[in-house]
Amino acid sequence: MELQQKNPLRDFAPQLERTSIQGYVWIVFLLAVIGLGFYAFLQQVFLGHEVTGMRDNVVWGVYIVNFIFFMGVSYAGALISGTLHLFKTAWRKPIIRMAEFITIIALLIGPCFILLCIGRLDKLHYLVLFGRIQSPITWDVIAITTDIFGCFIFLYLSLLRDLATLRDYELLQLPNWRKKLYKVLALGYTGTPEQQQRLNRATDIMAAMVISIAIIVYSVLAWIFSVTLQPGWHSTIFGPYFVIAAVYSGSAVLIVCMWVFRKVYHLEEYITKKHFVAVGLIMLVLAAFFGYFTFSDYLTKWYGSEKNDELLIQLLFKEFYWPFIISNYIGVLLPLLVVGIAKFRTISNITITSVVVIIALWLNRYIIVVPTLESPYLPIQDARPEWLNYSATWVEWSLTAAGVAIFCLLFTIASKFITIVPLSGSQGEEKKEDVLV
Amino acid sequence: MEEELNKDQKNSRRQFLKKGLIAGAGVAIGSGLLAAYVDTNAAETGEKVKVLTTDGEIMEVDRGLLKLPRVSREESHKGIPGRKFVMVIDLGKCKNARKCVEACQKGHHLPQSQEFMKVYLLQDSEKTAPYWFPKPCFHCDNPLCVSVCPVGATYKRSDGIVLIDNERCIGCKFCMTGCPYSTRVFAWKHYPEFDEDKEPYSPEASSPGKEGTVSKCDFCPDLIRVGKIPYCASACPMGVIYFGDVDEDTVTNGTETYQFSKLIHDRAGYRYLETLGTRPCVYYLPPVDRQFEVDRGFGDLEESVKDRYKDTPYSKKNKP
């Protein structure tokens, strides 16, 4: 009954029913990029990891950077959607599903990048067969698996009401198999008070779980670096630093997604400037935290510097000058200025800032991973340039592009399957929202 | 003077080997794994050597027939009973002759790009003396590489040796970032040198190598089992590298044998980067009373090897 009263589905039906020519071109383009990535992957499998830019000193490169980046984006989605849900934030409704999709899609792509880094994919099952709990990689395997399950359940719970709506909306022009699919997936949800109550309770529990799991998982990821003795990595601040950086990058990705879907599906009515400013302010707070953690980390390394920290900082300011400036200065200050000063707060300004933040955060991971590996305790003494300095090859860049393309493709497919803006909220919440608004 | 030393030390060296091998055993003697040690096609020399089997037994074998044992992967986890190995490197004698590197590469069937033993040109600070620094794996007693391995492919044995089982290794390279001494190497592809070795794989031999896995200096337990010292130690023309046993308190470079504790005490031996808490099993004797100028180390090097050192502070300073 609640479902029939307000039916914004009419607005969204075309999104689900048809794909425009541009839509098909976009999908073909993404498939082409993914195809190139697949070719690069085959090269790596058959010719060995020599086709990458990684060598004995810099054993982890762009792949690990992408891994951290995508996992960060994912945890951010989880943290943002979970927090907004728990606090019953009034304006969250049009954007919360995007955050949930970001979580699950990035979470599926991230681990693929760590697999690309592994020398013997044929022995991957050893991680389970012979797993050692003492190793942070095992912690990561357990944590990421838990996270994937948790986020799937959270996403599914939040989709249930809409799946029921889609099942019940008879005017929807869709092939039968899709209607049947909605019916199966809706699990017989009809919106009785008991069902509502149970669903709300389950979603609340999962939101709380997802928040804590996300914090644990990203800390574990940071510990992979900080448990080693390498200068620049061996830092106690890395756990919270990575968590903050993750949520920060995720808030930026969310803003970009909002902008894209608003344009493509004409959601101007649903996603307004209010939403951009609200998420922008979240991003602003995170930018301040991120800047604080970054400053704190580098200040202590620089002020009472050990020899190797000093060498690392020299390297950062010489060979990694621009990445360092973009990630740790521009990436921090730009959101503070653009979102902080009211008259700069336009939708396009906030979106452009978000794009810069995404790039800055990717570079931030790059200058965490690569310079440390280029400045080990024992100086690298080698005559071969590729063994001295890391630079990613076309194979690594193609696979990176493929990762981004898969992210876009899955997002496109997801938005064809279910509306990108949730159709229904629970009634209990609506009342609270009224009070808040 | 060096020759005199050699004469003096010869006896003690024999004794060391004899003593060392017997002390290492202490286990019941039975029918052994003779086949693993003897190459029946080779010619006999008449000289008998004692061999320590994987069971801790001692047997006599003709030196000419001796073949390096390839113990099984399971066996390689155990370590040689009653032993605790140690290496001492005398920096005062190293002139970067690189015979250690060559012998090691050959013995382990390694390509040029994979060096288990590396020789660095170090200078601790601007005013301090430069010196050549041969660096094997330190076989740490608190090895971070072993702690971080997710599948137990690298392990610490009872005799102190840290080995890698490349049948188990998944190639995640976490151990390479874990090791603060840049000791480990990765097989970025299948190198033709791996095919030279026709024997079955054993972690004790670190050969044949395998694409996509990590490997490193192994202290040559296969040589130790037949009473020899590692390739690097026996190949060094200057006798820079001493190998031995902490419990027996003896180290030898093949010609001279010393009491380990006295040597470290008298010559102020130290471990590299002690502050990191990894507790290495390799000790260094400081580069004092040097037999060679540092520049001798550039002597007959190939250009590509010479180029490695061109960016060191010492080379930069001495550029014309």
Q: pLDDT tens, A306-343? A: 889 999 999 999 999 999 999 999 999 999 999 999 88
DSSP structure string for chain B: -HHHHHHHHHHHHHHHHHHHHHHHH-S---S--HHHHB-TTSPP-S-EEEEE-TTS-EEEEEGGGB------HHHHTT--TT--EEEEEETTT-----HHHHHHHHHTT--TT--SSEEEEEESSTTSPEEEEEE-----SS-HHHHH-SSS-EEE-TTS-EEE-TTT-----HHHHH-TT---EE-SS--GGGGG--SPPBTTTTBS--TT-EE-----HHHHHTT---HHHHH-TT--EEEEETTTTEEE-SS-EEEHHHHHHHTT-B-TTGGG----SEEEE-S-S-SS-GGGGGTT--HHHHHHTTTSHHHHHT--
Whether complex ipTM tops 0.90: no
Amino acid identity, position A329:
Y
pLDDT for residue B45:
66
Of B13, B42, B71, the residue that ends a domain is B71
Instruction: Give pLDDT, residue B29.
Output: 34
Q: Read out DSSP for B164-205?
A: E-TTT-----HHHHH-TT---EE-SS--GGGGG--SPPBTTT
Q: What is the pLDDT of residue B102?
A: 94
Among residues 126-165 of chain A, which lie with CB inside 8 Å of chain B? 126-127, 129-132, 134-138, 141
Does position A266 have pLDDT exceeding 90, yes or no? no
Q: How many residues does chain A have?
A: 437
Does one domain contain both B49 and B155? no
B184 CB near a chain A CB, below 8 Å? yes
CATH no. for residue B103?
3.30.70.20
- pLDDT score for B30: 35
Q: Kindly determine whether residue A383 and residue B308, on different chains, have CB atoms separated by under 8 Å.
A: yes
Q: Kindly state whether residues B34 and B149 are assigned to the same domain.
A: no
* Residue range B74-130, pLDDT digits in tens: 999 999 999 999 999 999 999 999 999 999 999 999 998 899 999 999 999 889 999
B181 to A138: CB separation less than 8 angstroms, yes or no:
no
Q: Is the pLDDT of residue B138 over 50?
A: yes
| Structural domain includes residue B80 | no
Q: Which of B26, B47, B71 is the last residue of a domain?
A: B71
Return the percentage of chain B with pLDDT > 70, whole number.
80
Checking if the pLDDT of A69 tops 50, the result is yes
Q: Please give the average per-residue pLDDT across A55-61, as a whole number.
A: 93
| Rounded CA separation B175/B183 (Å) | 10
Examine the pLDDT at A365 and tell me if it is beyond 90. yes
CB atoms B173 and A59 under 8 Å: yes
User: Chain-wide mean pLDDT for chain A?
Assistant: 88
Q: What is the mean pLDDT of residues B197-219?
A: 93
Q: Does B302 touch chain A (CB under 8 A)?
A: no
Instruction: For residue B200, give how far its alpha carbon lies from the nearest alpha carbon of chain A (Å).
Output: 20
CB half-sphere exposure, B216, CA atoms < 13 A: 27
Q: Indicate yes or no: CB of A118 within 8 angstroms of CB of B171.
A: yes
Q: How confident is the model at residue A2 (pLDDT cuts 50, 70, 90)?
A: very low
Q: Chain A to chain B, count of Cβ pairs less than 8 Å apart?
A: 132
Q: Can you tell me which residue has the tokens 């931030």? A: A364
pLDDT of residue A175: 81
Kindly state whether residue B76 falls inside one of the protein's structural domains. Answer: no
Taking CA–CA distances from B305, the nearest residue in chain A reads A383
Share of chain B above pLDDT 90, in %: 62
Domain around B142: 85-317
Which of chain B's residues have a Cβ under 8 Å away from the Cβ of A373?
177
Average pLDDT, chain B: 85
Residues B164 and B255 in one domain: yes
β-partners of residue B243 are B87, B252
**Nearest beta carbon to residue A137 from set B172, B214, B311:** B172
Cβ of residue B274 closer than 8 Å to a chain A Cβ: no
Question: What is the model's pLDDT at position A426?
Answer: 42
Model pLDDT for residues A233-250, shown as the tens digit of each residue: 999 999 999 999 999 999
Q: Which residue has the higher pLDDT, B47 or B313?
A: B313
B144 touches chain A (CB under 8 A): yes
Chain B neighbors of A119, CB-CB under 8 A: 169-173, 186-187, 211-214
Q: Within this chain, do residues B33 and B145 fall inside the same structural domain, yes or no?
A: no
Position with higher pLDDT, B68 vs B285:
B285
Residue B231 sits in the same domain as residue B120 = yes
The H or E element containing residue B132 is strand B130-135
Q: Is residue B111 part of a domain?
A: yes
Alpha-carbon gap, residue B71 to A163, rounded angstroms: 61
**pLDDT computed for residue A205 by the predictor:** 92
Name the residue of chain B whose CA is nearest to A64's CA: B172
Residues of A in contact with B190 (CB under 8 A): 48
Same domain, B216 and B249: yes
CA distance B59 to B31: 9
- pTM equals 0.88
pLDDT of residue A420: 84
Supply the pLDDT for residue A179.
83
Q: Which of A18-27, A125-134, B81-90 has the lowest mean pLDDT?
A: A18-27
The C-alpha atoms of residue A324 and residue A314 are separated, in whole angstroms, by 11
Mean pLDDT, residues B42-68 taken together = 68
Which of A55, A57, A59, A138 is the best residue to mutate to test the B interface, defined by the most B CB atoms within 10 Å of its own CB?
A59
CB-hemisphere CA count at 13 Å for A278?
16
Angle between helices A193-226 and A62-86 in degrees, nearest 10: 150
Comparing CB atoms, the residue among B176, B177, B189 nearest residue A48 is B189
pLDDT reported for residue A87: 84
> Chain A neighbours among B 202-221 (CB < 8 Å)?
211-214
Predicted confidence (pLDDT) per residue in B275-310, tens digit: 999 999 999 999 999 888 888 888 888 888 888 998
Same domain, yes or no: B250 and B106? yes
Contacts of B276 in chain A (CB under 8 A): 229, 377
Q: Are residues B124 and B13 in the same domain?
A: no
**B59 and B125 share a domain?**
no
Q: Point out the domain boundary residue: B38, B71, B104.
A: B71
DSSP string, A324-370: HHIIIIIHHHHHHHHHHSGGG--HHHHHHHHHHHHHHHHHHHHHHHH
Q: Which helix H or strand E contains B52, and what residues bound it? A: strand B48-52
Confidence of residue A294 (pLDDT cuts 50, 70, 90): very high
In Å, how far is A410's CA from the nearest CA of chain B? 28
**What is the mean predicted confidence (pLDDT) over B242-261?**
95
Going by C-alpha positions, the residue among A99, A117, A101, A114 that lies closest to residue A144 is A114
On the question of pLDDT at A9 being above 80, the answer is: no
Contacts of A233 in chain B (CB under 8 A): 177
Total of domains in chain B: 2
Does residue B280 sit in the same domain as residue B160? yes
Q: How far apart are CA A84 and CA A208, in angstroms?
A: 11
Q: Do A383 and B149 touch (CB under 8 A)?
A: no
pLDDT for position A419? 83
Which of A165-179, B43-57, B131-145 is predicted most confidently? B131-145
Same domain, B116 and B246: yes
Decide if pLDDT at A62 tops 90. Answer: yes
Check: CB of residue A43 under 8 Å from CB of residue A218: no
Residue B237 lies in a domain: yes
In this structure, are B112 and B61 located in the same domain? Answer: no
Please indicate, yes or no, if residue B79 is contained in any of the structural domains: no
Contact status of A194 with chain B (Cβ, < 8 Å) = no
A135–B149 CB contact, under 8 Å? yes
